[in-house]
Amino acid sequence: MKKPLPNFGLYHLLSALMLLSIAGFSQSKAEKINAYLKKVQEQRQFNGSALVSASGEVILKQGYGLANMEWQLPNSADTKFRIGSITKQFTAAVILQLVDEGKVKLTGTINDYLPDYREDIGKKVTVEHLLVHTSGIPSYTGLPRFFQDASRDPYSVSDFVKEFCSEDLQFEPGEQFSYNNSGYFLLGAIIEKVTGQSYEAALQERIFSPLGMENSGYDHHATILPNRASGYDKTPTGFRNAPYLDMGLPYAAGSLYSTVEDLYLWDQALYTEKVLPKNQLTAMFTPRVAARGGHYAYGWSVGHHGLGEGKDSLKTISHGGGINGFNTLINRLTDDKHVIILLNNTGGTILGEISNAIINILYDLPYELPKRPLIDELAKAQADGGTAGAIKRYRQLKADYPGRYNFHERVLNNFGYMLIRQGNFPDAIEVFKLNVEAYPNGFNTYDSLGEAYMLNGDKALAIKNYEKSLALNPENNNAREMLKKLAE
């Protein structure tokens, strides 16, 4: 008896219908994500480029808002952004390549590779301590007046290490986690010493060129760079150009630029052995130390995203970046090969909250639009009735519309620092006091209030609030350093 021939017409029809169903599924999610991002952009909480990939398929790749506000040039998928601390994962990858080549040991000390570094620290801080922010070396970005006094000036790598990455230890290596740009600066110096190349050349040869990342590199202010976004800071009434920063200073901790498309090439390459062999990839993504509600690996934060009550959570491998005028995030959900890449050029914003909403859309979970920015309301009230009027408006909105606005402690904190930048220290004190009242267990509220008192010349109250901040968070190294300074 002859077997019936397969019905290829039916087979192809079913295959086509299945593909259409998958495409429709992705399209529906893409439309929801796009609508969400447009709304967030209207609220001034996102201005940049976004790429979302689901199961290895790009479902959204788009720009929102302006790359250059003076020329009204829009952001697009190929706009180049400074990526800040996303740089660290590239630095970590090169270090692990050198480990694999036998040129660097994770247990090797700073002095093994930088013999001129101060020996009392350099002989006991290891490469791994630098990778996971447990070295105890103070982060140069937290040094008093670093941004005011030094961030515009060029330095050679060796001079910068001596001047800003060689402070006395804040704690013994390995004892604590303290996010640290000095550590990654030192890793860049180690890369240069071991390879005999500049950090920039090493990354180009080892990562960018092999992966075809043609729109990524080390950001030099003087270079004419097509499609480079300008960086802005938000003000209550609009935007302003971000302060200048010499890009030699972020270096291996934060000086790269890229696009959402290139970072997607990077994401996809990390599922292969194009960058690192399997054992080193496993090492890079293995959680090492508790940090910020999750764990830190080598240049990556490892955490989880809840799927709702009674459901499993999703593993996330992510890292954000912040640098003058830019705020960035790459969030990888490796179990399902999803990735969310958000590059923003209007300073600090809520990229974590935005990413969480996009994850919920991908998994058909409820999501909400971000709450309205409160600082705009406070600025309007201040213009009409001074800081007292702004404080009155804050209390009124919190009492009458608790669910409409974002009352996170960072809102008043940002408002207070806006007053500090204006030199209005007494009013900044009143705003920070309100924040302490609202968030009495927030260590950063007392830290900010201590700074305002210090700037206003009230040493006793500055010490009192820094001590309270340190009591609430013994890892607040800024408070520790400021107390040392105030004790001099």
The secondary structure element, H or E, covering residue 54 is strand 48-54
| Residue-level pLDDT at 26 | 59
Could you give the angle at which helices 425-438 and 375-400 cross, rounded to 10 degrees? Answer: 40
| Residue-level pLDDT at 43 | 87
| Residue with tokens 């990229």, as numbered in its chain | 351
| Residue-level pLDDT at 11 | 33
**Residue in 422, 417, 475 with CA at minimum distance from that of residue 448:** 417
Distances in Å between the Cα of 396 and the Cα atoms of 39, 388, 391, 435 are 26, 12, 9, 15
Q: Which two tokens stand for residue 237?
A: 């009434």
In the chain, what are the domains? 84-362 (3.40.710.10), 375-487 (1.25.40.10)
The secondary structure element, H or E, covering residue 303 is strand 301-306
| Residue-level pLDDT at 146 | 84
| Residue-level pLDDT at 27 | 66
**Residue in 131, 120, 114, 127 with CA at minimum distance from that of residue 172:** 120
Bridging pattern class, strands 313-323 and 326-333: antiparallel
Q: Who contacts 418 (Cβ-Cβ below 8 Å, separation ≥6)?
A: 236, 375, 379
| Residue-level pLDDT at 9 | 43
Is the distance from CB of 329 to CB of 351 less than 8 angstroms? yes
| Residue-level pLDDT at 1 | 37
Q: What is the separation, in whole angstroms, between the first and last Cα of the chain? A: 100
Distances in Å between the Cα of 333 and the Cα atoms of 53, 133, 295 are 10, 23, 15
| Alpha-carbon gap, residue 247 to 242, rounded angstroms | 13
| Alpha-carbon gap, residue 267 to 436, rounded angstroms | 41
Q: Could you list the pLDDT tens digit for every one of the 488 residues in the chain?
A: 333 333 434 333 333 333 333 344 456 999 999 999 999 999 889 999 999 999 999 999 999 999 999 999 999 999 999 999 999 999 999 999 999 999 999 999 999 999 999 999 999 999 999 999 999 999 999 887 788 888 889 999 999 999 999 999 999 999 999 999 999 999 999 999 999 999 999 999 999 999 999 999 999 999 999 999 999 998 767 899 999 999 999 999 999 999 999 999 999 999 999 999 999 999 999 999 998 778 999 999 999 998 877 678 899 999 999 999 999 999 999 999 999 999 999 998 889 999 999 999 999 999 988 777 787 788 888 888 888 999 999 999 999 988 888 888 888 888 888 788 788 899 999 999 999 999 999 999 999 999 999 999 999 999 999 999 999 998 787 888 889 889 88
Structure letter (DSSP) for residue 62: E
Q: Which two tokens stand for residue 173?
A: 């290596």
**Residue in 358, 369, 298 with CA at minimum distance from that of residue 331:** 358
Residue 180's Cβ-count burial label (10 Å; 0-12, 13-18, 19+) is buried
**Residue in 67, 89, 88, 92 with CA at minimum distance from that of residue 77:** 67
Q: Who contacts 103 (Cβ-Cβ below 8 Å, separation ≥6)?
A: 194, 195
CA atoms within 13 A on the CB side of 297: 20
